[in-house]
Amino acid sequence: MDEDMLADQRRLVELVEAEGWEVTDVELSAYDSPWADEDDPEATVTLTARKPYDDGEDGDEDDDSPYRVK
CA 10 from chain center: how many Å? 12
pLDDT at 69 over 80: no
Quick: pLDDT tens for 33-55.
777 767 778 889 999 999 998 87
Segments making up each domain of the chain, as ranges: 1-26
Residues 6+ apart with CB under 8 A from 44: 28, 29, 31
The half-sphere exposure of 50 on its side-chain side, counting CA atoms within 13 A, is 3
Cα dihedral: 14, 21, 41, 4 (round 10): 10
Query: Model's pTM, two decimal places?
Result: 0.67
